[in-house]
Each structure stands twice: as structure tokens, then as C-alpha cells.
Amino acid sequence: MSLTLGISTSSSQFRIVLGEKGKVLFNSGDNPSLNAPDGPVELIKDISPLLTNGLESIGAGIKEIKKIIVDIGPGGTSSVRTGVAFANGLSYSLAIPVCPVSSMELIGIECWEKFGLPVVIAVKSVRGNAYVGLYNGRMAGLKYGLPEQFIHEMVAPVGEFVVAGAFRNKVIELFPGREIRDSGIQSVNARLLVEREGLFEKRATFYPNLPVPLTEQMIPAFD
């Protein structure tokens, strides 16, 4: 096998996806025992046992992983940092590339494909702040702060749009009388890390130029 490993870090639990040539062979999110809040702690809070479980379920070894795609956030700060560090460590130890993709881009891709409209994605942060991104076939904007302070400027170039992530109702309320669609999508679909891997391959990088978590301090450089 020549496997791609996808690691989703930005949701409440880690997700591991293994696939080959865009086809998902294992998704930890499809296994209730790996996702239940009362499930085995070592399988829902730690990436390594999840990966071991996935490899065993498809009869593969770790050296059959040839590429890693990692969700660099934004999301829960500790989980994103842990997930990115795991991806980077595995990339280094196996001498394979790792490709970064933001959680907001993953959500944007899913909504864009479903609705064919620009997507405003919000990810909760602290003290009412949020990461807010605009996806229009690509990430066309990304800001951090109180959404009401900048979101009107962000969406000024677009007409009808879709909202996703957190604060969907709040975003809709900021635009009375405007046609806005609620995607109903709250978080990352980890399957896209493998199913759309071709979109991220050009970002492949090796040690020492490894991905870093996306935080509010990174946004000016990222945008």
C-alpha cells in the first residue's frame, strides 16, 4: 500500500483517516467505540493508539504511510498543537512529506461543493472572539476578533453566501433582510483530508520546514 494519513485536530476529538489515491480505507469517526464520550480514553484522547487501530483494521504497517495531511486549526489550542506535533514527528521519523490545511479551508471546501456559494466560516475563540474566514473556491480572507467589527467588510465583495461553523445564527442576524443560507455544518469532515488530498499536495514540506498550528498571532502571515 501507499497510504495517505489524514489527522484532524480541530474538533473535540482527534480523527484519523487512512486512504489510498483519494479513497478512504479507515476513518476513526465511523467507529462509535472510538468516538463515544465514555469510550476508551487512550483511543479518544491520543492519536497514536487511534493510528495503530486504523492500521491494524486495514492490515497495513506504519511504513506504508507515504504522506501526511494535517489539520492545523484553528480549533482547541492544545489539541491542535498536539496533533500538529504528532504529524511533524511522524513525518520526520518516516522521512515523508506533511501537508498543512486549515480547518476553515476544509469546512469551506465541503460547503462550496455542496452549495456552490461563497462561505463564511467562524470558529469560536475566547471572550466572544472568533476566527472568521471567507472561502470562495479558495481562502479569500481570514481575520480574528469580534465578528461584528469586521464581518461586513469581509463579505462586501460577495452577494448571497453560506454560513458554517460556530455563530451561524449570530452571523445571519448581522445581515437583516439579506439572503443567507445556513449550511448546518459545524466542524471539519475529516474524510476530506484524504478524499481531496490532491488539493493539498503542492504544500508538501519536509523537516525542518514543518507546519505550525494556526493561531491568532499567525493570521497576518497566513492571510
Spatial contact of 138 and 112, defined as CB atoms under 8 Å apart:
no
C-alpha cell at 103: 480547518
Residue 178 is predicted with a pLDDT of 86
Q: Would you identify the CATH topology of the domain 3-102+188-215?
A: Nucleotidyltransferase; domain 5 (3.30.420)
Position 38 confidence tier, pLDDT thresholds 50, 70, 90: low
Position 121 confidence tier, pLDDT thresholds 50, 70, 90: very high
Average pLDDT, the chain: 90
Tell me what the mean pLDDT of segment 98-127 comes to: 95
Distance CA 45, CA 43 (A): 6
Q: 486549515: which residue's cell?
A: 102
Position 222 confidence tier, pLDDT thresholds 50, 70, 90: very low
Query: Residue 158 to residues 135, 137, 140, 167: CA-CA distances in angstroms?
Result: 11, 13, 11, 19
C-alpha cell at 19: 486512504
Every domain range in the chain assigned CATH 3.30.420.40: 3-102+188-215, 103-182
Q: Would you identify the CATH topology of the domain 103-182?
A: Nucleotidyltransferase; domain 5 (3.30.420)
Distance CA 63, CA 192 (A): 22
pLDDT at residue 139 tops 60: yes
